[in-house]
Amino acid sequence: MATKTKSKPAGKKGDTLQGVSPETAMMLMKEMLLYRRFEEKAEEAYAIGKIGGFCHLHIGQEAAAAGSIKPLRTDDYVISAYREHTQAIAKGIKPNAIMAELFGRADGCSGGKGGSMHLFDTSVGFMGGHGIVGAQVPLASGMAWTAHYNETDQVVICYMGDAAVNQGAFHEAMNMSAVWNLPAIYVVENNGYGMGTAFSRVSRTEIHEKSSAYGIPVSIINGQDVLETYNTFSDLIAKVRKGAGPQFVDLRTYRFKGHSMSDPVSGTYRSKEEVDGKVEQEDPIRSLKQAMMDAGKLTQDQLDEMDAEARKVAQDAFDFADASPLPDDVMLYTDVYADINPNGRLFFDGRERPGFAR
Amino acid sequence: MAVITYREALNQALAEEMARDESVFLMGEEVAEYDGAYKVSKGLLEKFGPKRVVDSPISELGFAGLGVGAAMTGLRPVIEFMTFNFSMLALDQVLNSAAKSLYMTNGQIRCPIVFRGPTGAALQLSAQHSVACETYYVHAPGVKVVVPATPADAKGLLKASIRDNDPVAFMEGELLYNIKGEVPEDDDFIIPLGVADVKQEGDDVTIITHGKMVHVALQAAQKLEKDGIHAEVIDLRTLRPLDVDTILASVKKTNRAIYLEEGWSYVGVGAQIVSIVQEEAFDYLDAPIIRVTQADVPMPYAKNLEQLAKPGVPHVIEAVKRVMYR
């Protein structure tokens, strides 16, 4: 039941690129450049100690974010794991607020209390940022349940890495989504490795086979091709919005950097040659550039201008984050509970909690 | 006031809250067509339909997580665990997702969800169906824990829990479902979280306890009366928030206390209570506080061994006499 999405041949001069309008293609290029420059800036900030903890970069996988999220509406939900910076930008969180969150500052989108792995902004439907592999999958089903319960036409996209399909949470959520026909698209960003373990070493079946037990249709998409990704997701989202029920996507992509900032790019689990080859041949930005230039829809000047703008936004985000204050000490104690019950003790650390809001 | 069972009291609370608020729905194994494994949800499918009373697959982690996701987007799910023993499979979604969502989103995402079902042992259900699970839940900031012992408390506290804006673990007892008691019929009968109940007054010693052990404590107190010992029995009713004031007031009056709980002793609920009392009422104590708990073994099946493992009236009487040096 796998339906391989066939790319229309690129490179022909015409009004569209694989059915995508030149304006949209330009927007996708702009987005991907921003993601790339933002992540490079985060990498730089991490190296000089501005960002702590874990930091998982999305470099190489930009098309997966832009192509799938851009066709969504603001009131649709996106939920992800912890390699989610660029998805958060794509869904509409301001780069400044994301960088400030990475820096652990008060102006961060989670007030500095979440960090790289827990970016949230409910006003644009970005629902995190979750740190336990696979745990976001049933949460996504619950968000889709709400849409179904309230009879809205909202759609939920849930991202996970390929390793998540070996978690029970994934299988339980897939089954329930199918049983209740929930409006969710489950997307495996299949970069071939769960941290340092090649997927082929931990599964006898392929990613695209994983939804067949639940009767959920699968699409295999070249996630390095933003036009194909955008096209296919536009169709999938429209279908789900009309009640087609859950969908599964094997979005084939490649991570150009290490698992996290503290991990090597290559060496122990994948060769330098493999990574270099992918970077050389499957960079989604370079591929789009080629397609657009071949079609006469992009000039080098335009590209340079967009890239300069992306670099500026990334630098501005860095400067904004760096200037943002640390969260006030009192924030340590806020938002543990929504209701501080008037009776009884809720906290047992023996500390004073002077006048915090909630 | 009508006299009804603990089971009926829970059923009333669910029905009333579902009628009051359309965002409340019930999901779990066997809750709909089967009327609930313990019949707590009897008749609710008929009343509210399959959209709001939902039979789940046997996927505790999955449907707990689905409930959390629904709560994060504005619904108020009541998730039934057939027993909290099975909720061990779902702990990740309770402790990592529900409990932390408000905090790590800086207040953006509330998680108003109730996880409910029986905790602890019934009769000869053996090692894997008899665990008192309170400690697992009460440990984590972000979760509230409610442990009603009587029909009235079950109703008033379940209604309060459903209306609360935080995740609540609402722990019942298989052996409590048939207990009868007077329950107000008022639709707005609420017992606020964080208020303990002095189930019996006394001056000589305080027996602090929760859940189904309240009934063991009351039986023991009755027997102690015959020896001229007037025990005060405090039913905590909620473990988080915890009514520390009522505990301390009683200990300051009696100067002696024991903690009785169904679960294991190590880092059990009683350990926390002892810690609080010694820190905040040390000068009032005339004896060390003793805890009465399950034997430190997995629950055995054989009737006699199970009886030996469970804390019972004789253990309570013995502990009371020890703290009274009698």
Domains along chain B? 2-183 (3.40.50.970), 197-323 (3.40.50.920)
Binary contact (B66, A179; C-beta < 8 A): no
pLDDT value for A355: 63
Provide the shortest C-alpha distance from residue A209 to chain B (in Å): 20
Residues in B 38-67 with any Cβ partner in A closer than 8 A: 51, 56-57, 59, 61-67
On whether residue A358 sits in a domain, the answer given is: no
DSSP state, A159? E
Verify whether residue B201 is a known catalytic residue. Answer: no
Chain A contacts of B77, Cβ < 8 Å? 142
On whether residue A346 sits in a domain, the answer given is: no
For residue A357, which amino acid is it? A
Per-residue pLDDT reduced to its tens digit, A49-94: 999 999 999 999 999 999 999 999 999 999 999 999 999 999 999 9
pLDDT value for A357: 43
Question: Nearest CA to A248 among A148, A132, A162?
Answer: A162
Contact B28, B84 (CB under 8 A): no
**Nearest 5 degrees, angle CA A138-CA B17-CA B129?**
55
On whether residue A90 sits in a domain, the answer given is: yes
Alpha carbons B66 and A121: distance in angstroms, whole number = 20
pLDDT, averaged per 10 consecutive residues of chain B (326 residues), comes to 96 98 98 96 98 98 98 98 97 98 98 98 96 97 98 98 98 98 93 98 98 98 97 98 98 98 97 98 98 98 98 98 96
Q: DSSP string of A17-35? A: BTTB-HHHHHHHHHHHHHH
On whether residue A311 sits in a domain, the answer given is: yes
Which residue ranges in chain A fall short of pLDDT 70? 1-14, 355-358
Lookup: tokens for B323 = 């703290």
**Nearest 5 degrees, angle CA B288-CA B289-CA B292?**
135
Integer Rg of chain A from CA: 21
On whether residue A82 sits in a domain, the answer given is: yes
Tell whether B113 lies on the interface with A, counting CB pairs under 8 A.
no
Domain boundaries, position A24 = 3-333
pLDDT, averaged across chain B: 97
Alpha carbons A85 and B289: distance in angstroms, whole number = 52
Domains: count for chain A: 1
pLDDT value for B230: 98
Contact B138, A345 (CB under 8 A): no
Verify whether residue B60 is a known catalytic residue. Answer: yes
Per-residue pLDDT reduced to its tens digit, B251-263: 999 999 999 999 9
CATH at residue A252:
3.40.50.970
Tell whether A49 lies on the interface with B, counting CB pairs under 8 A.
no
On whether residue A351 sits in a domain, the answer given is: no
When scoring A151, A343, A356, A358 by the number of chain B Cβ atoms within 10 A, the one with the most, hence best to mutate, is A343
On whether residue A108 sits in a domain, the answer given is: yes
Lookup: tokens for A137 = 């999958």
Binary contact (B96, A132; C-beta < 8 A): yes
pLDDT value for B184: 94
Find the distance separating the first CA and the last CA of chain B, reported in whole Å. 42
Alpha carbons A125 and A144: distance in angstroms, whole number = 12
Provide the shortest C-alpha distance from residue A260 to chain B (in Å): 21
On whether residue A115 sits in a domain, the answer given is: yes
Binary contact (A172, B51; C-beta < 8 A): no
Query: A4 forms bridges with which residues in the sheet?
Result: A220
Contact B204, B230 (CB under 8 A): yes
